[in-house]
Amino acid sequence: MNKFGTIMAYTYMTRFKTKSFLISTILSLLFVYAVANVQTIIDVFTSDEAEEIAVLDQSGELFQSLEEKVEGTSDDMDLVAFDGTEEAGKKAVKDEGYSAFVTLSRNSKQLPQAAYYANNITETGQQSVIKQQLQQMKIAVATEQAGIDQATISEIYEPVTFNTMSLDEDAKTSEELNQARGIVYVMLFLLYLSVLIYGNMIATDIATEKSSRVMEILISSASPVTHMFAKIIGTALLGLTQIAAIAGLGYVMLVVKRDELTGGIFDYFGLQNASASVFIYAIVFFVLGYLLYATLAAMLGSLVSRLEDVQQMMLPMTFLVMIAFFIAIFGLGMPESMIVKVSSYIPFFSPMLMFLRVGMLDIPVWEIAISIGILVATIALFAVIGARIYKGGVLMYGPSATFKDFKKAIELSKKE
């Protein structure tokens, strides 16, 4: 046990002191702080004064109506009547007297039309607002010419009444589904990034130790199995340290800025209204998913002795994580689809997909238990097989990045 703790602490502290870990943690904390203060940051770079847009109304009838509509829609722009010529208006924009210049006129059918001039037309916000309001004015004029009552047109364009109601009393409401979808998003990205980052970290550490011959000293003082699981747990604690720091800052920001962090994306994630069981399942599937892929990463890392071979050997695991992630993203819109249901029982996919189903659907407990049972059994099987491969793999040197080395590693483990 002392050897296990020593190797685990060594793995943790060695990685904790690396510049890459410290820089990534600091950047993550800065990102969380920036998200919590996103409105303040936007305000710093946004002018409080509305931008002036010069409007030359060649028809003499459209400006007032357009001005009223735009003012009721946007606070970021002011329309100003321009009395000069079209060329003078363009020159005023070039001299930065106005942010844009618009000419209004009527076509042969007496319908409104416009031309928009600006030094840079990549900013589409102003253009969209003016275009939308002119479209409404065009509809009003066209319907008036056709003799159709405006009230009738308003009724036609009124959104259709469409109520969604589940016949299953235990089914989640639309609001609950949106909140669950936000939590699942967070869990999926967290698990996806953690598996890729820390799985590669484990494999790289083992390959580095083999390439420097440190492995020969380590396995002479502790068994390869002890070394493997000490690596996995030590790296897991490193990941938990980083996640705890990020989550801690996030919680502090939520408490300090509770009044500001409302609406939009923060309501969408709905973390404040989620049930405790969802968080418990999130932790369970996160831990089990990490253990499964970390064991696989340690096993694969033990087969290579050169750092340049690590990524090639890790490709199959990376593809499995990516497939699970893509199916889960698809499942966010169709959580009851057959592919999501079947994949939720496949060990490599169940950490993401069964949690998705748990978060978004009301599924029987026995289904969750079966998925967790299969996942735990797979982790145990991988631990046994992985320990044997690891035991022989750490003794293998030279160029190697093929799966034929599995057999060779098992044969070497039997000789020990």
pLDDT in tens, 243-277: 888 878 877 776 676 655 555 445 545 555 556 67
pLDDT band at residue 315 under the 50/70/90 scheme: confident
pLDDT band at residue 413 under the 50/70/90 scheme: low
Q: Are 316 and 401 in contact (CB under 8 A)?
A: no
CA separation for the pair 137, 143 (Å, rounded) = 10
Give tens-digit pLDDT for 21-62.
Answer: 888 888 888 887 877 776 676 666 655 566 788 888 888 888
Q: Of residues 4 and 40, which shows the higher confidence score?
A: 4
Provide the pLDDT for residue 416.
Answer: 52
Lowest mean pLDDT among 2-6, 46-50, 74-78, 129-133: 46-50
Domain locations along the chain: 2-39+173-415, 50-157
How many CB atoms neighbour CB 23 within 10 A? 10
pLDDT band at residue 374 under the 50/70/90 scheme: very high
CA distances, 351 to each of 17, 196, 252, 345, 376 (Å): 30, 14, 28, 9, 11
Assigned token pair, 261: 């962090």
Nearest 5 degrees, angle CA 236-CA 378-CA 408? 90
CA separation for the pair 288, 332 (Å, rounded) = 21
CA distances, 180 to each of 73, 266, 345 (Å): 33, 13, 20
Q: Is the pTM of this model over 0.95?
A: no
Nearest to 15 by CA among 195, 198, 171: 198
Q: What is the mean pLDDT of residues 281-301?
A: 83
Nearest to 77 by CA among 102, 55, 54, 52: 52
Q: What is the mean pLDDT of residues 150-163?
A: 75
Lowest mean pLDDT among 223-232, 325-334, 345-354: 223-232
Residue 399 scores a pLDDT above 70: no
What is the rounded average pLDDT for all residues in the chain? 76
| Right CATH for 50-157 from 3.40.50.150, 3.90.76.10, 3.30.450.20, 3.40.190.10 | 3.40.190.10
Q: What is the mean pLDDT of residues 384-403?
A: 62
For 267-325, the DSSP string reads HHH-GGG--HHHHHHHHHHHHHHHHHHHHHHHHHHTT--SGGGHHHHHHHHHHHHHHHH
Which residue type sits at 54? A
Provide the pLDDT for residue 265.
Answer: 47
Contacts of 251 (CB under 8 A, 6+ apart): none
- Using the Cα atoms of residue 254, residue 256, residue 261 and residue 265 in order, give the sign of their dihedral: negative
Q: Which residues pair with 78 in a beta bridge?
A: 52
Provide the pLDDT for residue 219.
Answer: 57
CA separation for the pair 13, 7 (Å, rounded) = 10
Lowest mean pLDDT among 139-153, 166-180, 187-201: 166-180
Q: Which residues pair with 79 in a beta bridge?
A: 53
CA separation for the pair 356, 325 (Å, rounded) = 11
Lowest mean pLDDT among 54-58, 280-284, 398-402: 398-402
Q: What is the mean pLDDT of residues 273-286?
A: 76
Provide the pLDDT for residue 264.
Answer: 45
CA distances, 254 to each of 31, 36, 184, 332 (Å): 14, 8, 19, 26
